[in-house]
Structure 1
Amino acid sequence: VVTHYERAVIFRLGRLLSSQAQGPGLIFVLPCLDRYRLVDLRTFTFDVPTQEVLTKDSVTVAVNAVVYYRIRDPVKAIVNVEDANRSTRLLGQTTLRNVLGTVSLDQLLTAREDIAALMQECLDSVTEAWGVKVERVEIKDVRLPIALQRAMAAEAEAAREATARVIAAEGEQHASVSLKIAAKEILEHPIAMQLRYLQTINNICSGKESTIIFPVFMEMLELFKYQKMGGNFLLDDESTEALGLKKSSTEDGMSSCFPDPNNQEDEDESLDGEC
């Protein structure tokens, strides 16, 4: 009786009885004349031991893999090869070395699926004559030398730093463009400068230290007429009175301004009261 996942290859007097395997189910064998071999049709797996491989760009790496295969033609697996399972295992080791010797380290790290497919194709082309079908190949682990790992880590770190510098430079460029636009807007709208001035004062006052600030408003600065004559600044009567200065005339008819003592005392008392 042959089970569902097996097939029987029958030889009669040393000759193959049929080109097709028998089973599953009940089979008839003549005693002393017939001899039969059972073949398992289920999928088998085996690990390819770790191989020290020299890649195309002369880098030594340690690689292992796993191979999935099954017997597709029981007659070929018995007649054409002594031990199909053992032969497939040995072929997997040599094929792994041969395939990895034709690829670079970069390809090995980034294109494992393509390399596995190439290895499967190479195995299948040989095992077809043995009645074996290689269903799948997977590369499990790739171990690099310690020195190479450190070099790759340093290269990756340098690439990340370069990317960060580029991003920072682009940010500074965008910021400078925004500042240029803001400066243009402030120049076109003087009230924006005053708002910015008040905002700066507010930010300064928000600190932990207690600081008394006497802001000078922009309107007061506009009272000055920056026209210097003989070491004196010429101010009109309205500006002189607003700034608390006293105006006097010289012998040559020129007018000069100096602080009014009476007004200065009033200001000092006012400041003392505020402090």
Structure 2
Amino acid sequence: MDYLLLFVIFIVVIVLAAKAAKILRPYEKGVVERLGKYQRTVESGLVIIVPFIETIRKVDLREQVVDVPPQEVITKDNTVVIVDCVIFYEVVDPFNAVYNVVNFYQAITKLAQTNLRNIVGDLELDQTLTSREMINTHLREVLDGATDKWGTRVVRVEIQRIEPPKDIVDAMSKQMKAERMKRASILEAEGYKQSEIKRAEGDKQAAILESEGQAEAIKKVADANKYQEIAIAEGEATANVSVYQSIHEGNPTNDLIAIKYLEALEKIADGNSTKIFLPAEVSGILGSIGGISELFGEDNLNKKVIPKEVKKERIITPPTAE
């Protein structure tokens, strides 16, 4: 009988100890109630409560996800789109999270759906499809402000899907295809235009370079001819100066000049022409012949002045003195 009583007492102690000792994980906090009234908030670790008098409600502080079901939303331009999103939240105040909302999951889901309809309803279809970041930010701000009294903080909101009707999708696909074809045509025309401009600029540059090359070549040839003529003129001038200096230094007499003159006439007459014009005055020629005749005699003069070939065929006609 005594052993049975001891066994019962042992069992009761074990049950009371199990009821009194509670363990909270590092990501949990506890709200302790005594006889249905809030008593205190306890941290993680070993917590001792009074069995059957105090109760503890555990609150998870980790970030959690709420999947908002898809819903149909009418945009500003009267287009029906299907939108759904996910909400990431975390509990920051266990007391408010326990006592200020009955079903947090249902409450935040309905709140997200309502505000999502309001935000998307103020946008046109094109804005809705291209403004996901704006929708996410706006919806997060609204939800975060509304859930402050629930002891939670909305970390972020992500739009999962914005699905327009099938006919709108087909029209958008055709529009995008037409836009891409338009861009391709514009790019092709622009490329052709640029190629023609480049080709014209190349031809222009080639023509300019060719003209410059020809001008430079003509200039070089002209410079060479100029240098050649200058060199020839300088050579002839030097030769004439040398001849004149030699003549003056030799102090030639009239006799020598007359002989040279007659030799020159013989060379002039020794040609194929039937008429010869002598660029000399008649009076000068007669004076020279007169001087020569005094030196050599008239017979020798006739032999020198009129060669045999000239007597036969050629006539010497001196020009009339002015």
Aligned residue among 105, 129, 134 for 2:125: 105
Distance 1:26 1:161, change over 3 A: same
Give me the whole-angstrom Cα distance separating, in 1, the residues matched to 2:111 and 2:183: 46
Amino acid at match of 2:173: A
Contact persistence 1:41–1:70 (CA under 8 A): yes
The residue aligned with 1:43 is 63
Q: CA RMSD in A?
A: 2.3
Matched, 1:121 2:134: no
SS in 1 for 2:45: coil
Q: Offset of 1:174 from its aligned partner?
A: 2.9
The residue aligned with 1:6 is 28
Give me the whole-angstrom Cα distance separating, in 2, the residues matched to 1:7 and 1:117: 30
Q: Offset of 1:180 from its aligned partner?
A: 4.0
Distance 1:130 1:188, change over 3 A: closer
Give me the whole-angstrom Cα distance separating, in 2, the residues matched to 1:187 and 1:67: 71
Distance 1:180 1:47, change over 3 A: same
The residue aligned with 1:85 is 105
Matched, 1:137 2:139: no
Q: Per-residue displacement from partner, 1:43-80 (whole Å, max 9, x unpaired)?
A: 21121111111112221111111111121110001111
Give me the whole-angstrom Cα distance separating, in 2, the residues matched to 1:40 and 1:81: 15
Identical-pair percentage: 36
Amino acid at match of 2:78: S
Aligned residue among 182, 186, 192 for 1:162: 182
Give me the whole-angstrom Cα distance separating, in 1, the residues matched to 2:158 and 2:137: 8
TM-score for the superposition, normalised by structure 2: 0.53
Query: Which of structures 1 and 2 has the bigger CA Rg?
Result: 2
SS in 1 for 2:51: coil
Count of residue pairs the alignment pairs up: 188
Contact persistence 1:45–1:67 (CA under 8 A): yes
In the alignment, structure 2 segments of 5+ residues that lack a partner are 1-21, 212-322
Q: Per-residue displacement from partner, 1:15-44 (whole Å, max 9, x unpaired)?
A: 2213xx212122232234323211111221
Amino acid at match of 2:100: N
Amino acid at match of 2:134: D
Q: Offset of 1:82 from its aligned partner?
A: 1.5
SS in 1 for 2:192: helix
TM-score for the superposition, normalised by structure 1: 0.61
SS in 2 for 1:17: strand
SS in 1 for 2:71: strand
Aligned pairs (5 A) from 1:176-187: 176-181=196-201, 185=206
Q: Offset of 1:145 from its aligned partner?
A: 1.0
Give me the whole-angstrom Cα distance separating, in 2, the residues matched to 1:85 and 1:175: 65
Q: Offset of 1:122 from its aligned partner?
A: 0.8
The residue aligned with 2:265 is none
Give me the whole-angstrom Cα distance separating, in 2, the residues matched to 1:67 and 1:48: 7
Aligned pairs (5 A) from 1:211-230: none
Q: Per-residue displacement from partner, 1:217-237 (whole Å, max 9, x unpaired)?
A: xxxxxxxxxxxxxxxxxxxxx
SS in 1 for 2:42: coil
Q: Offset of 1:98 from its aligned partner?
A: 2.2
Contact persistence 1:84–1:132 (CA under 8 A): no
Q: Offset of 1:181 from its aligned partner?
A: 4.5
Give me the whole-angstrom Cα distance separating, in 2, the residues matched to 1:144 and 1:96: 16
Distance 1:183 1:124, change over 3 A: closer
Amino acid at match of 2:64: F
Give me the whole-angstrom Cα distance separating, in 2, the residues matched to 1:182 and 1:23: 83
Matched, 1:71 2:97: no
Contact persistence 2:25–2:45 (CA under 8 A): yes
Q: Offset of 1:123 from its aligned partner?
A: 0.7
Give me the whole-angstrom Cα distance separating, in 2, the residues matched to 1:31 and 1:84: 29
Give me the whole-angstrom Cα distance separating, in 2, the residues matched to 1:45 and 1:178: 61
Amino acid at match of 1:63: V
Contact persistence 1:48–1:92 (CA under 8 A): yes
In the alignment, structure 1 segments of 5+ residues that lack a partner are 191-275
Q: Per-residue displacement from partner, 1:134-153 (whole Å, max 9, x unpaired)?
A: 11111111211111111111
Give me the whole-angstrom Cα distance separating, in 2, the residues matched to 1:128 and 1:111: 26
SS in 1 for 2:46: coil
